[in-house]
Chain A
Amino acid sequence: MPMKPQNEGYRVLIAAAVSAALERERPVRVRITIEGQSFDAEVEVLSDQAAEPHEDEADVVIPESVLVPPLLPDTREEDKVCRSPLAGAIVSVKAKAGRFLRQGDPVAIVEAMKMQTTVGAPVDGLVEEVAVSPGDSVKPGQILCRLG
């Protein structure tokens, strides 16, 4: 959860992992540390009460097996290769070999089309190899890093 000082106070950006958790359960408890000071907070997306389904009304017993994620993987070996989505120049490389990345965690920042674009990890995985360094120019589809 990166923090950015603003003119007054702080702006808290919710990381992809937290927003994913928010979609599944609410509220989500988070601990925010600002300049060494910790705050415990509950994050909740306010939804439209009128539109929310009323689950308690149905009298169906949901078996536990239905609520757990499936075991079979839906990714392939090729998915573990992170590629540049467009032609541009590498501004900075965030991934380091040996680090574990979650899907969407920043791998590198590519400048292209008048914009700095963060390229995220395609899947969860351990960084095996980083193939670019800052200043490199990359083509669309060029490998940025490999995940194990």
Chain B
Amino acid sequence: MTAARTLKDGIATLHKTRERLQLGGGAERTQKQHSDGKLTARERLSLLLDKDSFQETGLFARHHATLFGLADKTLPADGVVTGSGKVGGRTVHVASQDFTVVGGSAGEVHGDKIATALKASLTTGTPFVFINDSGGARVQEGVGSLAGYARVFHHNVLLSGAVPQISMICGPCAGGAAYSPALTDFIIQTRYAYMFITGPAVIRQVTGEEITSEQLGGARAQMDRSGVVHFVAENDVDAIKICKRLLSFLPSNNLLDPPRGEHDKRHFRDEALNKIVPDESKLPYDVREIIHRVVDRSDFLEVQKEFAKNVVIGFGRLVGRPVGIIANQPSVLAGVLDINASDKAARFIRFCNAFNIPLITLVDVPGFLPGIDQEHGGIIRHGAKLLFAYSAATVPKLTVVIRKAYGGGYIAMCSKELGADQVFAWPSAEIAVMGAEGAAEIVFRHEIAAADDQEARRGELIDEYRNTFSTPYVAAGARLVDDIIEPADTRGALAAALDSLVTKRDIRPTKKHGNIPL
């Protein structure tokens, strides 16, 4: 009893304590986590981070809750594993909520640990990855736990635009907690996870509507319907793969260029590109076929694949350089721009611009979507985000007009005067204020009215208008198109243009920030 404590004992105690704390909520709860289809907080980190690269901070952190029987309870790491490690040799900071420790509930110390990890991300200029799996606020801690959340949100905002932030939703993420992911750049949600602000119980109480957690905030709801999520993962393992792949396109911070991958030596000329767009202008095609043929190794990471599918966005590489691609999708809603498509593209453009990722825009847009819902839903305000995002972006901007480019849709899709550095057009391009049918009705109104056979004359004049404007030559003549290229040469033309633009400087007046129409 009275024997002096030796260093040897101290070391043994250290190892024992560390081992015990690293078990989180213990074997039984780990078992439950697995049978619920989830990995544990630490297992997720081991999959995410390069072998033996994890440096934990705050394992011994203790909560300071004294009420409701929490005082004597040890909550290992206070329910969140934090620290730093490497992904593909590059440092990232991480926080991974441990559902086995009181349901991953967020107390004050828990929140503070995440905020500390976020701060470390900012000071070191390295990405932050937050793995969410938490039942919500630790109610026993009261407002302390809310303060913890607020600290996290505040730091999410401080990091925004300085370092990339990725949230993985691998379990529940409910109530206020859902706002941390929402403030980050990308959300990856697994099919075992759900997110919502108010859950099924509250909804039942307030509105009487019946819905399950999965239906309300599952991956399908938050991807297809709300567009909150950027990637849906089948499971934890898949989510981690997506996260790593995403990180491979991104620089560690806004002062660096994105990492250049191996140079794809694939020949620049690709005859297949001459055959993707059907001759009949009413027939759709999948624009992703073009994207896959333009980017290195057909390696295209599509973002928000199931949301606003009329616009396709994602990351690819061009001769090793990461690029952000924005393309109208003619096979969905004719590729129109609507409220959701504008929001989706605008946010992506702003992310790319913040992190020095050049933009490539593929245009085949019949215009903005007409409709009462759209107008009353604020298409003016939402469509303006797209114009704003493109105009404000200072990264290299390349545009290829594939087929239709009509009216406001043409302007919005990174047209020359909106700030594109280079605009290419395929011979199939139709660049005009509006479709030939509508335009002829307006331009030749009197001529049609005066004709003996109005139908025949209308047809003739529509053809005349179409032959004049449904080509890229008028726009090229007005220097709104820099060059007309054979589709087969697209990859080469873009690669050369990008290469000549790497030194681009676009210096704007200093200001706090522009006022994007939110």
B26 interface residue (CB < 8 Å to A): no
Chain A residues bordering chain B, tally (CB within 8 A): 44
Q: Give Cα A55 to B242, complex, Å.
A: 12
- Chain B residues within 8 Å of A69, by CB: 191, 234-235
B26-55 residues with Cβ-Cβ distance < 8 A to A are 34-39, 43, 46-47, 50-51
B15 interface residue (CB < 8 Å to A): no
Interface pair B192/A49, CB less than 8 Å apart = no
Interface pair A114/B282, CB less than 8 Å apart = yes
B449 interface residue (CB < 8 Å to A): no
Q: Give Cα A48 to B321, complex, Å.
A: 12
- Chain B residues within 8 Å of A13, by CB: 286
Chain A, 61-89, contact with B by CB distance < 8 Å: what is the 0/1 string? 01101111110111110000000011100
Interface pair B220/A65, CB less than 8 Å apart = no
Residue from B38, B43, B211, B235 in contact with A76 in the complex, judged by beta carbons closer than 8 Å: B211
| B284 vs chain A, min Cβ distance (A) | 6
Chain B residues bordering chain A, tally (CB within 8 A): 60
Interface pair B262/A48, CB less than 8 Å apart = yes
Interface pair A74/B38, CB less than 8 Å apart = no
- Chain B residues within 8 Å of A7, by CB: 275
Contact A113:B331 (CB < 8 A) given known A47-B299, A67-B237, A87-B371:
no
Q: Who on chain A is nearest to B30 by CB? A: A63
Q: Give Cα A76 to B220, complex, Å.
A: 11
- Count the A-B residue pairs with Cβ separation under 8 angstroms: how many? 132
Residue from B37, B46, B262 in contact with A50 in the complex, judged by beta carbons closer than 8 Å: B262
- Chain B residues within 8 Å of A55, by CB: 47, 241
Among the listed stretches B75-83, B125-133, B332-340, B377-385, which one makes contact with chain A, having 4 or more residues with CB under 8 Å of it?
Answer: B332-340
Q: A115-B284, A115-B335 are in contact. List 15 more A-B contacts (CB 8 A).
A: A11-B275, A48-B297, A48-B317, A51-B244, A53-B88, A53-B240, A53-B244, A74-B215, A74-B218, A74-B220, A86-B333, A115-B283, A115-B334, A116-B284, A140-B371
Chain B residues close to A by CB (< 8 Å):
34-39, 43, 46-47, 50-51, 88, 191-192, 211-212, 214-215, 218-221, 234-238, 240-241, 244-245, 248-249, 261-262, 275, 281-284, 286, 296-299, 317, 330-336, 366-367, 369, 371, 373, 404, 435
